[in-house]
Structure formats: C-alpha cells, structure tokens
C-alpha cells in the first residue's frame, strides 16, 4: 500500500511539473504572436514595455519565474530583453 502511495505521489508531481511547463510554453507563444501582430519590430525600445504589457493582460503564469524568460529565449529572443525589463519594473 505504501509503495502505491509513493508511486501515486510521484505521478502527481511529474504531471504537475509537465502542466506548468506547458503553461509557460503557451504563454510565451501567445506573447510572441501578440508582439508580432502588434507590428513591433524592435526599433522602438520605448514602446516595447507598453506592447508587452498589453500582450500580457491575460497571462496566467508567474511572469517573474525564470522559465518564462527561458521560453521566450527559445521562441522569440528578440523580445526577451524587453520582457525582462518589463518584469523588473513590475
């Protein structure tokens, strides 16, 4: 019985971590797509925080978690620095 409880706990933890990772991946994808739709081309550093803020209005993840920046590095590295500045100003 004890082994079954331990196995169940391990499965729950692994599933939970997988779901969290998927949440960050989805949030990063949505941010990248929103930034592309906004027409932001990286030339106007002053507007990046505004654009990121608008794009993240519906985000349901902890933006200060390093995993979000990591996902952005993979999906759209051109906005990662602006994202980090946005998070620091929060």
pLDDT tens digits, residue range 40-62? 766 666 678 888 888 988 888 99
Q: What is the pTM of this model?
A: 0.71
Q: Is the pLDDT of residue 13 over 60?
A: no
Q: Which residue has the tokens 């949030």?
A: 27
Rounded mean pLDDT, 29-38: 91
Q: Which two tokens stand for residue 57?
A: 């209005």
Interior CA angle at 17 toward 60 and 12, to 5°?
115
Q: So what's the pLDDT on residue 11?
A: 37
* DSSP code for 64: T
Beta-carbon neighbour count of residue 81 at 10 Å? 14
Q: How many residues does the structure list for the chain?
A: 90
Gap between the Cα atoms of 66 and 84, Å rounded: 10
């Amino acid at each position: 019985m004890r082994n079954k409880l331990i196995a169940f706990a391990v499965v729950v933890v692994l599933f939970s971590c997988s779901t969290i990772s998927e949440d960050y991946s989805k949030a990063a994808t949505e941010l990248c797509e929103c930034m592309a739709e906004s027409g932001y081309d990286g030339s106007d550093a002053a507007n990046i925080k505004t654009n990121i803020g608008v794009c993240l209005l519906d985000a349901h993840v902890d933006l200060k978690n390093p995993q979000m920046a990591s996902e952005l590095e993979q999906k759209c590295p051109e906005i990662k620095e602006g994202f980090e500045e946005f998070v620091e100003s929060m």
